[in-house]
Structure 1
Amino acid sequence: MKGAVYYNEEEAKRNHAFIDDLLKEAKNLGIELKLITDSPTEPLDFILFRDRNPTFALELEQASYRVFNRASVQKIANDKLRTFELATLLGIPAVPTFRADQLPPLPFVMKTRGGHGGSEVFLCESAKQAETILNRFDHNELIVQPFIESNATDVRVFMLGNEVLGAVKRTGAKDSFKSNYTLGGTVELYTLNNTETKQVQAISRAISSDYIGMDFILPISGGWLLNEIEDPVGARSLYQTHEFSVAKKLLKYVKNQLGDDSC
């Protein structure tokens, strides 16, 4: 079996540890795997697509490559408005999300629809702050959410197909309303209850995802609320809290999906 893991050049440098683990585990599983940062030039059984570029992913699919995740997954996962619309359709509790022409009462959070990793997320506590953000971005690229007090705590659930691969509770760095681990937050293992498991599985089935992350805010009162879907999802916090190789499980999943059950 022959495959590739695709990153753009910048992200390949940032994610070298995960790439190294993928290459090591691929060798152990009898998979010929290589890193590519451009269009493939040879037949491949699969491509692990680790970028936020559904247009390019669709081009690869149309060229008959099996892409994990497909472009259709990326179009929802990398658009916070579409994520909210999906949750609403499925009846999954989610953070109320509006277009930038529908501002809720202050304070609220403004985000770009395609931002990730805690970037392009702004807490607006005054009309002046909101105006600054509105002047900085195209209104069609912004969404607005009410600020929900959560002590900067959320849960990231990692899904492999319809299986819960693992989950981590993330708490933001001091004086930050963002919970991202890469921004200085802390993480601990989190175990989903039956209701939470059914909800994340409903989402993964609806979009036919392969390997994604789902972020749920934990309000001070009440149950969790879906905030974002991450593709490609980073595995740093999962490696930190769980005793297995994410790369190994992902590659075994790929082999099974392609009809190779030798692993």
Structure 2
Amino acid sequence: MGKYGLVIYKQHEITRNKRFINMLQQHCLDKELHLEVMAYEQLCIHLSKTKYIAGPLNEKLHYDFVINRSATPWLNEVLELAGIRCFNTAYVARIANDKRLTHAVLSNIDVPMLSSTAVHKHYFLDKKQVPQEKMIIKDPLGKGGTGVKLAEAPEEIHGLSTTLSDNLLVQPVGGQKGKDLRVYIVGNHIVGAVLRESATDFRANVSMGGSARLYELNQAEKRLVSLITDAIHLDFVGIDFLIDDDGHLLFNEMEDAVGCRSLYIHSSIDIAAIFASYIAKELQK
């Protein structure tokens, strides 16, 4: 008898990710895993003593596992309390969806990164607090390069203040401009890596006009990734690195609901099949 699962996206992301969803559903079915799709906005979660997901007619829906790709880590936490296996775990979803937490956790295990500071935007209202060098200002909850600003002079901070979120992650400008490396992890194993580059933007995101190609990690780079996976069990994430002027990697961010288009376009790796196989093995434990 098969098991039943749910994959959750924000409503506006379902159409954009339809191809990947269809592939994941088919690969899951090959493993006798029946995977339904639901928009986050349509969820009804009962939070009292008997916790369950309810359908349109308030019927109880039973799932053995949930793949939450809606960047809402509270949901992973609630579902785990109800005994439902979540991919990723609540802990990983929590830290990966908040850049402040990711940097704090990975800094604690000595992963190299740019100096990173969490502040409220009002911190910059005092001109004495504004750094004099160029800096990158990020929305710590932003995804896909959104909410990332480059301030090239101190006076630009005040001009940007109306467009910034209240809570910020601030870093010096570092790494080779418009270049980063995304490493795909499934079940704590490296599946592949994609080098992303942009000639027109300091962000290398393909969704913002960057290009990409498959990349072969060297042994030092693999050891750096292992430093992370030895400390945190990752079901399915993308880890993004900047590349410094000497060619060494600097951690940049971790994507909980990582996009895989570049990997499919530039390689024969079927990460949906790999993920489905991993889920099947995990559910047998």
TM-score by length of 1: 0.92
Find the residue that maps to 2:155 and give its secondary structure.
helix
CA gap 1:138/1:188 in 2 versus in 1, 3 angstroms: closer
**Greater C-alpha radius of gyration:** 2
| 2:188 is equivalent to residue 169 of structure 1 | no
1:251 corresponding residue in structure 2: 276
Shift in Å at residue 135 of structure 1? 4.3
Matches for 1:138-149 after TM superposition, within 5 Å: 138-139=165-166, 141-149=167-175
Tell whether the 8 Å contact from 2:175 to 2:242 is kept in structure 1 after alignment.
no
Find the residue that maps to 1:207 and give its secondary structure.
coil
Shift in Å at residue 104 of structure 1? 3.8
Which is worse superposed, 96-105 or 210-219? 96-105
Tell whether the 8 Å contact from 1:103 to 1:144 is kept in structure 2 after alignment.
no
| 2:231 is equivalent to residue 229 of structure 1 | no
Alpha-carbon deviations, 1:97-117, whole Å to 9, x = none?
112346543211100111110
Distance in 2 between residues matched to 1:103 and 1:127, nearest whole Å: 6
Find the residue that maps to 1:82 and give its secondary structure.
helix
Distance in 1 between residues matched to 2:175 and 2:84, nearest whole Å: 44
Tell whether the 8 Å contact from 2:7 to 2:37 is kept in structure 1 after alignment.
yes
Distance in 1 between residues matched to 2:108 and 2:222, nearest whole Å: 18
Which is worse superposed, 192-201 or 53-62? 192-201
Shift in Å at residue 138 of structure 1? 5.0
Find the residue that maps to 1:118 and give its secondary structure.
coil
After the TM superposition, which segments of 4 or more aligned residues of structure 1 sit over 6 Å from their partners? none
Distance in 2 between residues matched to 1:18 and 1:122, nearest whole Å: 30
The number of equivalent residue pairs is 258
**Can you give the 5+ residue segments of structure 1 that lack an aligned partner in the other structure?**
none
Tell whether the 8 Å contact from 1:94 to 1:225 is kept in structure 2 after alignment.
yes
Tell whether the 8 Å contact from 2:132 to 2:153 is kept in structure 1 after alignment.
no
Tell me which amino acid in the other structure corresponds to 1:160: V
2:50 corresponding residue in structure 1: none
2:21 corresponding residue in structure 1: 19
Q: Supply the RMSD in Å over aligned alpha carbons.
A: 1.7
**Can you give the 5+ residue segments of structure 2 that lack an aligned partner in the other structure?**
45-52, 55-60, 124-128
1:10 corresponding residue in structure 2: 12
Distance in 2 between residues matched to 1:119 and 1:99, nearest whole Å: 17
Higher strand share: 2
Alpha-carbon deviations, 1:114-163, whole Å to 9, x = none?
11101000010122221233344454x10111111513111000111210
TM-score by length of 2: 0.85
Tell whether the 8 Å contact from 1:169 to 1:190 is kept in structure 2 after alignment.
yes
Alpha-carbon deviations, 1:198-254, whole Å to 9, x = none?
221221332322101110001223511001011111111111222132111101000
Q: Percent identity?
A: 32
1:210 corresponding residue in structure 2: 235
1:79 corresponding residue in structure 2: 98
1:99 corresponding residue in structure 2: 118
Find the residue that maps to 2:204 and give its secondary structure.
coil
